[in-house]
């Protein structure tokens, strides 16, 4: 489970609970530029490197099923998750919440605090440098490589990442896709969590042959 730009692995408990309730193990991580990792490893566009390390770790354990690995991401993590699924083929399903399709395309309209957070966590010297690095966070080439099932969630009232980015991702993937637009939802549809959290957990359970609640 991949957190967003200014969140950490410790904040994902509420998101994890529906999956745990259905018998799925969860692993929340701080990837490049996130949480504990931000001080040593800058944000990167190729989040599949972090996903590869996690998949390697899972394969080394005898208490987890490495044949049924999914990735979930929220906000900027909603970019990281499908990006990883495009290139790390051990990932068999993906859930993406409110991620950007092209981060640089919405850069100028982002709140100043969001841009500054990205600048710091990408280890950029200036706003211009950060905007240049933001160009690496793009799904243009990656999305058509996604062949595993993917569930995309967005809020129509999202003022940070427009819902059109989720719609573009859903149109661009090569594999099975389910798009859920919460019409009165904001960023991550977190003002309407009951609309999607159980549904995405049931969807993932179905992908892996587990019972729904």
What pTM does this model have? 0.96
Total domains in the fold of the chain = 1
* 95 contact partners, CB below 8 Å, separation of at least 6: 70, 71, 72, 73, 81, 150, 151, 153, 200, 203, 204
Rounded to 10 degrees, the C-alpha dihedral 54/30/24/11 comes to 180
DSSP 136: T
Q: Determine the average pLDDT of the residues in 24-33.
A: 97
Domain-embedded: residue 182? yes
Quote the domain boundaries for residue 18: 9-207
The tens digit of pLDDT for each residue in 113-164 reads 999 999 999 999 999 999 999 999 999 999 999 999 999 999 999 999 999 9
Could you tell me the pLDDT band of residue 211, with boundaries at 50, 70 and 90?
confident
Catalytic residue among 75, 98, 124, 172: 75
75 is catalytic: yes
Domain-embedded: residue 144? yes
Is the CB of residue 99 less than 8 Å from the CB of residue 165? yes
CATH of the domain at 38: 3.40.50.1820
Res 148: pLDDT: 98
Domain-embedded: residue 1? no
């Amino acid at each position: 489970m991949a957190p967003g730009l200014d969140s950490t692995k410790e904040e994902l408990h509420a998101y994890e609970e529906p999956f745990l309730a259905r018998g799925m193990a969860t692993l929340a991580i701080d990837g490049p530029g996130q949480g504990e990792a931000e001080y040593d490893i800058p944000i990167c566009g190729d989040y599949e490197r972090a996903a590869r390390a996690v998949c390697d770790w899972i394969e080394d354990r005898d208490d987890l099923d490495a044949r049924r690995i999914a990735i979930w991401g929220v906000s900027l993590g909603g970019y990281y998750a499908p990006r990883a699924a495009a290139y790390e083929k051990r990932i068999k399903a993906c859930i993406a919440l409110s991620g950007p399709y092209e981060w640089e395309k919405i850069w100028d309209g982002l709140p100043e605090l969001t841009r500054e957070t990205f600048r710091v966590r990408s280890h950029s010297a200036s706003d211009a440098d950060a905007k240049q690095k933001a160009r690496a966070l793009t799904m243009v080439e990656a999305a058509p490589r996604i062949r595993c099932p993917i569930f995309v969630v967005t809020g129509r009232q999202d003022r940070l990442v427009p819902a059109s980015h989720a719609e573009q991702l859903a149109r661009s993937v090569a594999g099975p896709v389910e798009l859920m637009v919460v019409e009165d939802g904001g960023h991550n549809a977190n003002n309407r969590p009951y609309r999607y959290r159980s549904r995405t957990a049931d969807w993932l359970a179905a992908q892996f042959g587990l019972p729904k609640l």
